[in-house]
Amino acid sequence: MNIVVTVKQVPDTQEVKIDPKTGTLIREGVPSIINPEDKNAIEAALRIKEDNDDVVVTVLSMGPPQAEIALREALAMGADRAILMSDRAFAGADTLATSYMLSRAIKKIKKFDLIICGRQAIDGDTAQVGPQLAEGLNLPQATYVEEIAIRQDVVTVKSRFDSVMRTIEMKMPALITVSSRVNRPRFKTMNGVLKAFRDKDVVTWTKDDLKLNPMRIGINGSPTWVRKTFVPSHSRAGLMIEKQPSESAADILDFMLEKSLLRF
Amino acid sequence: MTLCYQMDDKFEMIRLAVREFAESEIKPVAGELEENEEFSVSLTQQMGDIGLFGMTVPEAYGGQGLDYISYIIAVEEIARIDGSQAATLAAGNSLGIGPIDAFGLEAQKRKYLPDLCRGRTLIGFGLTEPNAGSDAGATSTTATRDGDSWIINGRKTLTTNADTPMTKGSIVQALTGTRPNGKVEYTCFIVENDTPGFTRNTLKRKLMWRGSNTAELFLNNCRVPDNAVLGNPGDGFKQMLATLDGGRLSIGAMGLGCAQGAYEAALRYSKERVQFGKPISRQQAISFKLADMALKIELARNLLYKACWLAENKRPYGKESAMAKLYCSEIAREVADEAVQVHGGYGLFKDYDVERFYRDQRLLQIGEGTSEVLRIVISRAIGC
Ligand SMILES: Cc1cc2nc3c(=O)[nH]c(=O)nc-3n(C[C@H](O)[C@H](O)[C@H](O)COP(=O)(O)OP(=O)(O)OC[C@H]3O[C@@H](n4cnc5c(N)ncnc54)[C@H](O)[C@@H]3O)c2cc1C
Ligand SMILES: Cc1cc2nc3c(=O)[nH]c(=O)nc-3n(C[C@H](O)[C@H](O)[C@H](O)COP(=O)(O)OP(=O)(O)OC[C@H]3O[C@@H](n4cnc5c(N)ncnc54)[C@H](O)[C@@H]3O)c2cc1C
């Protein structure tokens, strides 16, 4: 069985400060880390590998050359192979271009049964790449996954939808996005780190290694334009209504009418 | 260009991996274990699970196959959080695993190393005796041959890791005769805990490292087989000196880590604590303290890593290892002391980690060669 895990390198937002004047992230001196839920995705793949014979885990990332270290870290956790898609032509990609490019790389990988993505990246925060990737590859998908079971060519997952859990069965190949609740990522072992550098490789693919439509990559393939970024100020506290759903709905309706937010 | 201050990414990943573990698993329990004088089997095993034991031992014996600098970085990172666990680790690697890996016979390596490297067993290293501390030449424990076994008699003390639930035994140095040239001869033995006549007593009420085990050992007509001799009979003194050279690097790493932890705590606190209308870090008297701490740590790290580099590249490193141990342990004292000062009265309470760092640093100027003895070593090395 072949599992592909998509991994994004992100600035450690716990350490990020926002420039109050420009509203953008101050990135200098901020360490880069594996997107936390991508660590959960790696862990999920490694557990499947431990419980089944002949599982190969490939980690895939698109990013600048420095993203290699994130992939090495995934290798140190126990992934078998790593591919870094890196090219100046990929820069400025939005989620659509990112998922298109990832889909082309996965087509090139060819043999895959399960793709595991993190639910959401802590910098971009859209949670769009996983679902877009599934669409691009025409695969069944389940998002916000908290439990995974594999039986022959069927993957059964528990997927969270607000307070409701859904059980979804999919025939593989399939794609899932996992949240931090799915598992607790393992610590890297010392020997794992050694092997990640001594015995394993990070293969780099540029645009020439992939069949890409030039109009769908990088900035050209990115219809999203960020007009402005700002730090929202939370000057008013929210109001919590904790009643039965029907009573809550009535309260909310009253509130909205009172504030002239709704008119009949 | 051979001078290079850029460290491989591998070292950085080792550091972050150990840091992540120490912050999430050790930090929350360190204070309580220390206060209760409790040795933690589970933390020790967890350290084994991530491969902190046997870091420089070849993979064929269950070790991690890494280099000396990686090992030293790991000890530094554990000591940045907790001296007690760092002591278990540093003694486990440098004094327990180290001599077996370096001098043990093939059968001894196969017998002991795999479990030691998995962090499932520990072995103590008993050199110090009640009347032989700095003066290891005053060792009075003896071993005499009897058929194809040896009878050991004597007493060891202040032995780290020697009396824990996971301790398999201890390496003890004993007098085994006099050479034709009149010099006394020492031999090291691996004495397993179930040897009749071998008893242990854990020494309690320590000032520091209270989560680490320190024991005295009583050897009363202990009969051990010939294959309990570590390496070859008569090699004991040489083995001990080499073990201490390596061990000093790990004590240096404990000093560096302790200083780093105390400094980070002081820096953080100085930015939060407001007096006279501004954070105390903006008082020059405080910011200069912090600048001095950062300076000393930088110097200590450079010296220690250089000594490791020498060791790794099989060059003489006895002088540098003594210097690194001496300097790292002395700046640990200075930095921990100033870190308490920056915390004011709160730094004297167990609610703040600096209280522990302040106590933990104190052993570092005594164990594996006191500061005075190290100055003797250095002064001899420079030809005094
Ligand atoms: C207009 C615009 C311009 C941008 N320009 C840049 C730019 O110049 N440079 C830049 O660094 N970013 C840029 N970004 C951000 C970047 O494209 C997005 O962050 C990226 O597409 C992922 O989206 P996300 O962070 O919301 O991830 P999510 O959709 O929240 O991520 C979900 C999961 O998808 C997977 N995934 C996401 N991204 C990757 C990846 N790159 N490789 C492998 N797996 C991945 C991971 O498994 C992740 O957990 C830009 C975004 C926009 C909107
Ligand atoms: C917590 C802990 C763990 C330890 N773990 C181990 C272990 O695992 N294995 C082990 O074998 N030992 C261990 N030791 C023992 C340690 O190595 C000794 O304490 C150390 O070598 C000093 O010996 P001593 O305590 O007998 O002091 P002494 O040798 O009695 O020294 C007393 C003072 O006299 C000074 N002094 C002695 N000789 C000279 C001289 N020639 N010139 C100038 N000054 C001198 C010393 O520097 C010191 O200040 C441990 C000790 C402690 C406290």
B213-254 confidence digits (pLDDT tens): 999 999 999 999 999 999 999 999 999 999 998 899 999 999
Does the domain at B124-237 match CATH 2.40.110.10? Answer given as yes
A35 alpha-carbon distance from chain centroid: 7
B chain contacts of residue A187, beta-carbon cutoff 8 Å: 17, 20-21, 49-50
* CATH at residue A12: 3.40.50.620
User: What string of DSSP letters covers B196-221?
Assistant: TTEEEEE----SS-TTS-EEEEEEEE
- The fold of the B9-122 domain, in CATH, is Butyryl-Coa Dehydrogenase, subunit A; domain 1 (1.10.540)
Whether residue A112 is contained in a domain is answered as: yes
Q: How many angstroms separate the CA atoms of A51 and B203, rounded?
A: 45
- pLDDT mean over B143-151: 96
CB neighbours of residue B148 within 10 Å: 8
Q: How many angstroms separate the CA atoms of B115 and B48, rounded?
A: 9
Going from the Cα of A92 to the center of ligand 1, the distance in angstroms, rounded, reads 9
Q: At what angle do helices B9-21 and B68-79 cross, to 10 degrees?
A: 30
**CA neighbor of B161 nearest in space, from B218, B219, B87, B213:** B213
> How long a stretch of residues is chain B?
384
Quick one: pLDDT at residue A184?
A: 97
The answer, yes or no, to whether residue B1 has pLDDT greater than 70, is no
**CA neighbor of A108 nearest in space, from A198, A185, A209:** A209
Whether residue A193 is contained in a domain is answered as: yes
For A53-109, what is each residue's pLDDT tens digit? 999 999 999 999 999 999 999 999 999 999 999 999 999 899 999 999 999 999 999
Which atom of ligand 1 is nearest the CA belonging to A60?
A: 43
- pLDDT mean over B316-334: 97
Going from the Cα of B12 to the center of ligand 1, the distance in angstroms, rounded, reads 25
> Any idea what DSSP says for residue B327?
H
Domain total of chain A:
1
> Which residue minimizes the CA distance to atom 37 of ligand 2?
B134
Going from the Cα of B53 to the center of ligand 1, the distance in angstroms, rounded, reads 39
Which atom of ligand 2 is nearest the CA belonging to B371?
A: 47
ipTM value for the complex: 0.94
Q: How many angstroms separate the CA atoms of B140 and B143, rounded?
A: 10
**Ligand 1: does its nearest atom lie under 6 Å from the Cβ of A87?**
no
> Any idea what DSSP says for residue B24?
I
> Which residue minimizes the CA distance to atom 22 of ligand 1?
A95
Whether residue A116 is contained in a domain is answered as: yes
For A20-59, what is each residue's pLDDT tens digit? 777 677 777 888 999 999 999 999 999 999 999 999 999 9
The answer, yes or no, to whether residue B84 has pLDDT greater than 70, is yes
Dihedrals φ, ψ of B129, to 5°? -125, 165
The domain covering B238-381 belongs, at the CATH homologous superfamily level, to Butyryl-CoA Dehydrogenase, subunit A, domain 3 (1.20.140.10)
Residues whose CB falls within 8 Å of the CB of residue B95, separated by 6 or more in sequence, listed in order: B124, B125, B160, B161, B171, B243, B247
Ligand nearest to the CA of B92: 2
The pair of structure tokens assigned to B339 is 């870190």
Contact A194 B64 (CB under 8 A): yes
Residues whose CB falls within 8 Å of the CB of residue B154, separated by 6 or more in sequence, listed in order: B129, B140, B141, B142, B172, B174, B219
Chain mean pLDDT for chain B = 97
B328 alpha-carbon distance from chain centroid: 13
Q: pTM (2 decimals)?
A: 0.91
Exposure string for B72-111, b = 16+ CB within 10 A, e = fewer: bbbbbbbbbbbbbbbbbbbbbbbbbbbbbbbbbeeebbeb
Whether residue A222 is contained in a domain is answered as: no
Residues of chain B with CATH 1.10.540.10: 9-122
Domain of residue A149, residue span: 2-216
User: What string of DSSP letters covers A209-249?
Assistant: GS---GGGSTTTT---------PPP--S------S-HHHHH
B196 to chain A, minimum CA–CA distance in Å? 38
For A105-150, what is each residue's pLDDT tens digit? 999 999 999 999 999 999 888 999 999 999 999 999 999 999 999 9
Whether residue A55 is contained in a domain is answered as: yes
For A231-257, what is each residue's pLDDT tens digit? 777 777 788 888 999 999 999 999 999
Contact A68, A84 (CB under 8 A): yes
Whether residue A242 is contained in a domain is answered as: no
B8, B64, B74 ranked by CB distance to A191: nearest: B64
**CA neighbor of B66 nearest in space, from A197, A202, A82, A201:** A197
* Nearest residue in B to A198, CA atom: B10
Q: How many angstroms separate the CA atoms of B127 and B99, rounded?
A: 12
For A161-200, what is each residue's pLDDT tens digit? 888 999 999 999 999 999 999 999 999 999 999 999 999 9
End-to-end CA distance of chain A: 57
Q: Which helix (H) or strand (E) holds A45?
A: helix A36-51
Whether residue A252 is contained in a domain is answered as: no
B chain contacts of residue A191, beta-carbon cutoff 8 Å: 51, 59, 64-66
- pLDDT mean over B168-193: 95
B67 to chain A, minimum CA–CA distance in Å? 10
Residues of chain B with CATH 1.20.140.10: 238-381
Please tell me the number of Cα atoms within 13 Å of A108 on its side-chain side: 19
Asked if the peptide bond before residue A173 counts as cis, ω within 30 degrees of 0, the response is yes
Q: At what angle do helices B27-35 and B353-364 cross, to 10 degrees?
A: 70
For B5-17, what is each residue's pLDDT tens digit? 889 999 999 999 9
Contact B86, B255 (CB under 8 A): no
Whether residue A204 is contained in a domain is answered as: yes
For B23-75, what is each residue's pLDDT tens digit? 999 999 999 999 999 999 999 999 999 999 999 999 999 999 999 999 999 99
The pair of structure tokens assigned to A218 is 């990088």
Q: How many angstroms separate the CA atoms of B209 and B255, rounded?
A: 13
Q: Is B298 among the catalytic positions?
A: no
Contact B48, B93 (CB under 8 A): no
Q: How many angstroms separate the CA atoms of B187 and A102, rounded?
A: 64
The answer, yes or no, to whether residue B300 has pLDDT greater than 80, is yes
Residues of chain B with CATH 2.40.110.10: 124-237
Q: Is B381 exposed, middle or buried (0-12, 13-18, 19+ CB in 10 A)?
A: middle
Q: How many angstroms separate the CA atoms of A196 and B63, rounded?
A: 16
Contact B9 A197 (CB under 8 A): yes
Quick one: pLDDT at residue A78?
A: 98
Q: How many angstroms separate the CA atoms of B44 and B52, rounded?
A: 9
